[in-house]
Structure 1
Amino acid sequence: MTMAAAIESQTADARAWSKASRIAGVDIFHDLAAAETVWRGFETSKQFYTPYQRFDFVAAWQRQVGEREGLRPFIVVGHDSERRPLMLLPLAIESRLGARCASFMGGKHSTFNMALYDRDFAANATEADLATLLGSIAERSRVDALALHQQPLNWQELPNPMALLPRQPSVNDCPLLVLEAGAAPTALISNSFRRRLKGKERKLQALSGYRYYVATESADISRLLDWFFRVKPQRMAEQKLPDVFAEPGIEQFIRTACLTPLADGNGHVIDIHALECDDEVIAIYAGVADGHRFSMMFNTYTMSGNAKFSPGLILMRDIIDRHAAQNYRALDLGIGSDEYKRLFCKSDEAIFDSFVPLSLRGRLAANALSALNRAKRTVKHNPALFEIAQNLRSMFR
């Protein structure tokens, strides 16, 4: 029996598959608070999840952004016969192409999307497990389709169980730097590049109070964010890009996540790395970290004359060296192919999308969304088409 057949016949096939599946039942929550306890139970070193799916990250996004956009939480928990949670899908429902579609909470601010898993379950998950999960969702909800974007094929050296579903490459790639254990600094960033950055940094080191640090105090975090929300719109206007940080709820979401400490005390939900001197903030990079990977979310640099000394690249070097010294194994600079990312990241993270129909109406929507994403990827990876698309976007803007 194929996965496609299992999805198509939904309830009946789910019951047949369940005999071979460890998922014995599914709970569905439409309230973040109701799911919080089981959700946080997945956030331990013994479980399998990305920092973009931490409860505090997703809750801040949903309450500040998702609710404003009319998205309703749809949190799916699969459990075994003894009701031990095996996985949690942090989704939200929206109407797309006339169908009720469930997608990962976090929107475009989440580089990677993945369920939270019991690590042993994730390591041995089967098509039967997923067929049971999908059949239960179809039977117990009115969701027509799952539209699951930007999922990693692997995370922390384990395969992502959702890759067993029908899938296609995501629209964009994610530049990745693998940090080999014990690698010399020059293996991560070449000697010649380091020398160039060191030459530029000498100019900055002459500034009074020049320093690199990770913000830990609330006052510093708020001050750096105040600066970011003043400067970033100017930088985006220079590039003739829309100010995505001005969209409703985004600033509140970012401030909440940056100011929320992690339960284990190792940083915040979003960490801010900064270069500054006594007179000004020179550059910041903000991202999420989990002891294994640092993943960049947003950044900007000064509008002053100090910008000519490449402070963003210097800060990126400091971040790479810091995390390599802490035995991190990977670092990514977020979705997109900006030129500066290729100075550090020579490979790409394999990420995929899945559009899974759960009803006839959902099949029409899933097929249309799949085709749209394939078209977007074609444009993004064809320089001539991409230039045309950029020109058209500028004209309409």
Structure 2
Amino acid sequence: MVNAHDISANPIVGAATARRRPHVTAYLNTDVNGAARVWTQLEGNPDVSFHQSRAWVKAWAGGTGTSISIITLEQDGQTVAVLPLEIIRIGGLKLARFAGTAFSNANTGLVGEHPLRDEKITPGELAAALRQAGLAADVVLFDKMPPEAAERAPFNALPRVLHQNPSFQLPLFPDFDEVLAQINRKRRKKKFRLSERRLEAIGGYRHITADDDDQSLRLLETFLKQKPARLAAQGLPNVFADAGVRAFLARLAMTRSGDRKAALELHGIELAGGAHEGTIIAVAGLTRKDQHVTCQFGSIDETVAADASVGELLFYRMIEQAAKGGDQVFDFGVGDQLYKRSWCPVRTDLVDCYLPLSLRGRIAAPLFAAGITAKRVVKTSPALGSAAAWLRGQLVRRTSSSAKSYEQHD
């Protein structure tokens, strides 16, 4: 008979009884409809972000023409995750990242409930599996991940840095007064009443929500006209100028679930009387998943009722509607701005995980990480942030001026 002491002393018996590490395998599918069954199943997990949903990825691929690499990751035959990725080139480097992440607010990958969910997969194991599957990238960047998502396999053993921007959330409750109590209820209600009075003085307003494709596209088109002026005033480039990005948003707005709810829900403030009857002076786009509402974008028309704080008014109405409808979180998304701080008692520092797959990637990965950290330092320093904003504004104005001169000459 062999006792416990004998087992620990015998290296052969000890090796035989040690727990074997699960074998990691990755499969690559380049069809956006690939892995549909498991993708749909994992998408049902409340922890999975809307930005890895089939609706988001299919709209991104269809609108922009981006090729998608869908990675299905398994450990000993059990699906650990589905990772919808796109590959972009930065100089001579091929970077794989979450599909559509340039416009997303949080990424989680599609990770399900299974016994191996928290089993660490080493960077070497994951890199070997992805190379063997044929992922043609030098580096994989899993960016804008909430900390709890980054602590699950296959991300939990990867090197990481804090993302340059945090995101901001407002917890919701069925009693809207309880929601407002988190953020100075008296002041918020006073500001809301003042906005309403100023709009009533010019004929009143309606809070509208698009309930068909025509209304969705009308509100989206208004946003795409309003936003460039606001971005230019802030010295920022128009990230919505590309035709592919516009087509992506239109596809998302016209993607509807079985209950006819749009994947991208468009809201607006429309003037209800007077000289500007029917004019839309504020627009916002929301996505919704498992009682988590995310504001994807917003815009205002500052040429009408500029003193009415119509952007704040629209947020008030949308948040009130979401709270009364049973939603649990209103997420203002990525980016540190004063209006987000004023609405949100919760700040989330997001995480960027990265994984080199090639020699070139191993050289570049630390530089990526250093670049992300440097951006964070600039954004969290008032002095450096102001200097960067000034330089950015100068570049945008010069580019715009050059473009106008070229058009006149042409």
- Tell whether the structures are fold-level matches, with TM greater than 0.5: yes
Q: Tell me, yes or no, if structure 1 residue 282 matches structure 2 residue 281.
A: yes
Range 230-239 or range 52-61, more displaced? 230-239
**Structure 1 counterpart of 2:227:** 232
On the 8 A contact 2:118/2:152 being kept in 1, the answer is no
In structure 2, what is the Cα distance between the partners aligned to 1:199 and 1:209? 13
| Alignment partner, residue 382 of structure 1 | 381
Distance 1:187 1:362, change over 3 A: same
Contact preservation (8 Å) 1:270, 1:286: yes
How far apart are residue 18 of structure 1 and its match?
A: 10
Gaps of 5+ in 2: 1-17, 397-410
Kept after mapping to 2: 8 A contact 1:147/1:366: no
Deviation at residue 268 of structure 1 after TM alignment: 1.5
Matches of 1:230 and 1:18, distance apart in 2: 60
Partner of 1:57: 56
Q: 1:186 to 1:140 in 2, by over 3 A?
A: closer
1:167 to 128, 150, 160: 160
After superposition, the CA RMSD in angstroms is 2.6
Deviations 1:266-296 (A, max 9, x none): 6211111222134111211112111321111
**Map of 2:41 onto structure 1:** 41
Letter of the structure 2 residue corresponding to residue 363 of structure 1: R
Say which of 177, 194, 198 aligns to 2:193: 198
The alpha carbon displacement at 1:255 in A equals: 0.8
Cα distance in 2, alignment partners of residues 99 and 284 from structure 1: 38
Report the counterpart of residue 299 of structure 2 in structure 1: 300
Q: Secondary structure of 2:333's partner?
A: coil
Q: Provide the C-alpha distance between the structure 2 equivalents of 1:74 and 1:375, rounded to a whole number of angstroms.
A: 30
Could you tell me the percent identity over the aligned residues? 26
Displacement, 1:180?
A: 5.4
Rounded to whole Å, the distance in 1 between the matches of 2:266 and 2:73 is 35
Residue type of the alignment partner of 1:126: E
Residue 154 of structure 1, CA deviation: 2.8
Q: Which residue of 2 aligns with 1:111?
A: 105
Give the 3-state SS of the residue equivalent to 1:33 in structure 2: coil
**How far does the alpha carbon of each residue in 1:136-158 deviate from its partner, in whole angstroms, 9 at most, with x for none?**
11333243221221111136xx9
Mapped to 1, the partners of 2:114 and 2:192 lie a distance apart of 44
Structure 1 range deviating more: 202-211 or 233-242: 202-211
1:125–1:181 CA distance, 2 compared to 1 (3 A): farther
SS of corresponding position for 1:111: coil
Distance in 2, matches of 1:341 and 1:62, equals 30
Do the aligned partners of 1:146 and 1:357 also contact (CA within 8 Å) in 2? yes
Q: CA deviation at 1:129?
A: 7.5
Are 1:270 and 2:270 matched, yes or no? no
Check 1:368–1:24 CA distance in 2 against 1; reply closer, same or farther (3 A cut): closer
Gap regions ≥5 residues in structure 1: 1-16
Return the offset for 1:163: 4.1
Judge conservation of contact 2:205–2:269 (CA < 8 Å) in 1: yes
Cα drift, residue 231 of structure 1: 2.0
Bigger Cα displacement from structure 2, 362-371 vs 321-330: 321-330
Code of the aligned partner of 2:29:
F
Deviations 1:194-222, CA, capped at 9 Å, x for gaps: 12211221232455572223211112112
1:20 aligned residue: 21
Structure 1: distance between partners of 2:197 and 2:96: 51
Q: Aligned equivalents of 2:301 and 2:70: distance in 1?
A: 41
Which residue of structure 1 lines up, in the alignment, with residue 246 of structure 2?
251
Deviations 1:295-341 (A, max 9, x none): 11111122343231111101111122222223322222122122211
Shift of 1:174: 1.1
Residue 127 of structure 1 aligns to a residue in which SS? Answer: coil
In structure 2, the CA distance between the partners of 1:130 and 1:321, relative to structure 1 (3 Å rule), is farther
Change (3 A) 1:99 1:237: closer
Partner residue, 1:291: 290
Report what 1:363 is aligned to: 362
Q: Which whole-Å CA distance do the structure 2 matches of 1:323 and 1:292 have between them?
A: 9
Instruction: Tell me if structure 1 keeps the 8 A contact 2:68–2:86.
Output: yes
Q: Distance in 2 between matches of 1:376 and 1:66?
A: 29
Q: Deviations over 1:177-205 (max 9, x none)?
A: 22357672432442222122112212324
TM-score by length of 2: 0.82
State the alpha-carbon separation in 1 of the partners of residues 392 and 198 from structure 2.
Answer: 39
Cα-to-partner distance string for 1:84-116 (whole Å, 9 max, x where unaligned): 533101111223353332111113211112211
Q: Does the CA contact (< 8 Å) of 1:18 and 1:24 recur in 2?
A: no
Which residue in 2 is equivalent to 1:13? Answer: none
Cα distance in structure 2, aligned partners of 1:212 and 1:181: 20
Contact 1:42 1:48 in 2 (8 A): no
Q: What is residue 214 of structure 1 aligned with on the other side?
A: 209
Q: Is the 8 A contact 1:64 1:253 kept in 2?
A: yes
Residue 138 of structure 1 corresponds to which residue in structure 2? 131
